[in-house]
Amino acid sequence: MNTGNKQYRYTMIQRRSFLKAAGVAGLTSAAGCLGGGGGGSDSVKIGAVMALSGPFARTGEENQRGLEVAEDYLDGEILDSEFELIIEDGESDPNASIQAARTLVEDEDVDAIIGPVSSGNSISVMQYIKEDGQVPHLMTTASSVEARENPENCNEYGFFIWPSNRHLAPTGTQFIQDLPNHIDRDFDPSRVHYVSQDYALGQNGLELVEESMNEVGGEVTGSTLVPLGETDWSSYISEIANSEADVVTGVLTWGAAAQLMPQANSFGLPEEKVMMFNSGKPIGQFAASTMPDEVTVDGWFGTHFYNPGLDTDVNNEFQSLYNELDSSLLPNSTAGASFELMRALATVIEDSGSTATDDIISGLEGLEWDSVFGPIQFREEDHQAALNFFGGRRVASDGDATEVEVFEEYPDVIPDARCSL
């Protein structure tokens, strides 16, 4: 089958710096320790649907980098043999993502699929996997609750490492209520203005922020939803500045943050409003990599689940290996997500000595391990991940560097299961 999708095939890694034994260390399941197991006769094939072109390409590139780091970390081997990683470009498009997944399953006979980027693309692939593909499907950055809660989408094959808006909205709302304890500004945390982009992620986020603000006795006084791809935010910034609320909140893509933050700083918006966004964009590694002078402007805050200052063996090795790549960015959560999904797959395959779909799924259900995000677990009931969040800001560090200042920690964040498998 010739889908027209670009394909990237990896069989051997170029930078082998760590022993294979380190690759699966530190992971446990609900039943106990997982270690090296088995010895299947066939080599392992992992497929990945990455957005390497189109509007989500920046995210897809980071997902791919995370897989490359995982290959290094695993020393290129699962079950004592070189494994094959086959990457198809989903082109940031639902139909192209389905075609990519179909190629990986039907032509390449992969044992599992990682990806794609974005909720809309992930849902399309989920439906194909549920009806036809029927292989383990580990999603990277799908945030919409539609993938996890709509019974037409959620299925036994899908696993989610990335938090949904139902993780983000209550955590962000709580951090807004806690912020007066940490900053010397006179503002009302019970009234917020919501800002995001006008697509599934932003629309769903608005509904859930409204819900979580109501639960604490607050309200969303207004919203600004910006078209995807917009580069001139001046009119939207004026709208935000004229809003009734003292606090601006929401969820942003990398591209939106890259446009909003410098333009808002030029306008002086963080002096007028407390700017607190979920999903880490004002305090995350991408913003710190690309605009360090903008992220340390007083008035920007965020919640996130990846703290680059986490001093653990796996996070230190992840950062070291990532920094060997040809990347101008800092080690980040997007690369970390695909890195950890590959580690999880390697662990359950090693443990069972099998690449059978049922064996991989049963191994992933309840799997808990020490990740770059801290302790993490796939909940058996609906395959969502429990994550540790924090709220804070970026501050200047030595030289041109910045670092995260943590104000509050919110452990084991996971919403109630709404789709029983």
The CATH label, of 3.40.1000.10, 3.30.1360.30, 2.60.120.560, 3.40.50.2300, for the domain at 7-163+309-383 is 3.40.50.2300
d(CA 382, CA 364): 11
Cβ pair 300, 275 in contact under 8 A: yes
pLDDT in tens, 374-383: 999 999 999 9
User: For the chain, what is the radius of gyration of the CA atoms?
Assistant: 21
CA 67, 72, 76, 78 torsion: positive or negative? negative
d(CA 212, CA 222): 15
pLDDT in tens, 95-128: 999 999 999 999 999 999 999 988 889 999 999 9
Token digits of residue 24: 């699966």
- pLDDT, residue 42, reads 73
| 249 residue type, one letter | T
Contacts of 58 (CB under 8 A, 6+ apart): 254, 255
Average pLDDT over residues 313-338: 97
Could you identify the residue written with the tokens 């080599």? 43
| C-alpha torsion 201→48→30→312, nearest 10 | -80
Token digits of residue 317: 């090795």
Cβ pair 46, 112 in contact under 8 A: yes
Cβ pair 90, 49 in contact under 8 A: yes
Token digits of residue 280: 């880490």
Distance of CA 346 to the CA centre of its chain: 19
pLDDT in tens, 212-222: 999 999 999 99
Cβ pair 391, 303 in contact under 8 A: yes
The pLDDT of residue 25 is above 90: no
Q: Where in the chain is the domain with CATH 3.40.50.2300?
A: 7-163+309-383, 166-304+388-413
d(CA 29, CA 32): 5
Query: How many CA atoms lie less than 13 Å away from 339 in the CB half-sphere?
Result: 27
pLDDT over 70 for what percent of the chain? Answer: 90
d(CA 407, CA 393): 8
The pLDDT of residue 15 is above 50: no
- pLDDT, residue 143, reads 84
Task: Decide if domain 166-304+388-413 falls under CATH 3.40.50.2300.
Answer: yes
The pLDDT of residue 134 is above 50: yes
Cβ pair 376, 106 in contact under 8 A: no
- Count CB-CB contacts under 10 A for residue 39: 10
User: Does residue 189 have a cis peptide bond before it, meaning omega lies within 30 degrees of 0?
Assistant: no
* Mean pLDDT lowest among 236-245, 250-259, 330-339: 250-259
Q: What are the backbone angles phi and psi of residue 171, rounded to the nearest 5°?
A: -65, -45
Residue 22 pLDDT grade (very low, low, confident, very high; cuts 50, 70, 90): very low
pTM, whole model, 2 decimals? 0.89
DSSP 3-state of 193: strand
pLDDT in tens, 230-254: 999 999 999 999 999 999 999 998 8
- pLDDT, residue 5, reads 57
Look over the chain and give the mean of its residue pLDDT values, rounded to a whole number.
90
Average pLDDT over residues 150-159: 94
Helix (H) or strand (E) holding 98: helix 94-102
DSSP string, 267-302: HTHHHHSEEEEETTTTTSHHHHHH-HHHHTSTTEEE
